[in-house]
Amino acid sequence: MISNITEFCLSIASGGSKRQKLILLIYHRVIDQPDYMYPSSITTEEFNWQFALLASKFNVLPLTEALERLQSGSLPPKAVCITFDDGYADNYLHAMPILKQYSLPASFFVVSGMINQDRMWNDDVVETVRCYPEPVLDLGFLNLGRHSIKTADEKFKVAERLVKTIKYLPFSERNRLCKELTGLVSELPTGLMLTSQQIRHLSDQGFEIGSHSVNHPILKGLAVKEWRHEILSSKAELENITGKQVKCFAYPNGKFDTDFSHEHCQYVKECGYTAALSTDWGCVTPRSDIWMLPRFTPWDHTPNRFLLRMAQKYLFA
């Protein structure tokens, strides 16, 4: 049940068409049941009520259309776009049916090098910790420490620390460590990433496909030739699959000045994209830089908190 206070905040937040604010929501995994190794991932049950609220309380627009209307001054009040990063198969299996149920548009930013693959690099880390059969994970031979993983909470915290440690290492070192880690267990989950056929079907169903690089590296950690390849080749690969222009790019990890810079923004523009998205939190306005648009993740697990968070973004962002 939505409270009167929540409804009041939403009515104030709408503010008429003059407000011209756009919320870009960012999602990643869509899991069918809660998972202690992915506690921040939204379940299908939560997606269902979130998308029901978005359909009934907001104006959800395709990303490209919303950005065009923002620039022309015709953006409706309580405007929202839904985006997914990375290209997980559960986006297709779990999110797409719910999106179609409520007739909601969405954009899927795909890591092209992970298409038809089993896992992202961070999943290699998480699933190795989950599946490791012993109560202590000794990674001293990789200079990654020795860790107790007796409980679910310990496993989650160890995996979280390892991902943060490995993320900003040189790209080749990140890959080497992940290969070493996955070699410690006999069996890991497979088929976590979208297939080319699933991507093509998403596109044919009217969902926008965007680029999220080739390998999801930290762009600032790469040589110029390497990060140019990540930005340009991913666009070409996805266009080859969908037969449509890939218009938008989402920066891997996505924090300005930490993960990408103005140099990367300029090259995104030169490659023929029309907009680029960050993970810096905020609300898009006509003054926003089109090459580093802010987004935010709706982590609230109750309808009232979810709606109040949305209202807060419109009012104060």
pLDDT digits (tens, 9 = 90+) for 35-44: 999 988 899 9
Classify the C-alpha dihedral 68-72-76-78 as positive or negative.
Answer: positive
Q: What is the pLDDT of residue 14?
A: 63
Q: Is residue 187 part of a domain?
A: no
Task: Say how many domains are in the chain.
Answer: 2
pLDDT of 317 > 70? The answer is no
202 and 96 in a common domain = yes
DSSP 8-state secondary structure symbol assigned to residue 142: G
The verdict on 70 and 202 lying in the same domain is yes
* Domain-terminating residue out of 133, 158, 182: 182
Residue 150: which domain range? 121-182
Same domain, 197 and 159: no
- Position 132 scores a pLDDT of 97
**Residue 282 belongs to a domain:** yes
User: How many beta carbons lie within 10 A of that of residue 59, not counting itself?
Assistant: 16
Residues 297 and 225 placed together within one structural domain of the fold: yes
Mark whether 211 and 268 lie in a shared domain. yes
pLDDT per residue as tens digits for the range 82-140: 999 999 999 999 999 999 999 999 999 999 999 999 999 999 999 999 999 999 999 99
d(CA 108, CA 201): 12
Q: Does residue 110 sit in the same domain as residue 129?
A: no
How many CA atoms within 13 Å lie on the side-chain side of 140?
A: 4
Q: Are residues 147 and 126 in the same domain?
A: yes
Does 211 lie in the same domain as 86? yes
Same domain, 107 and 210: yes
Residues 135 and 94 in one domain: no
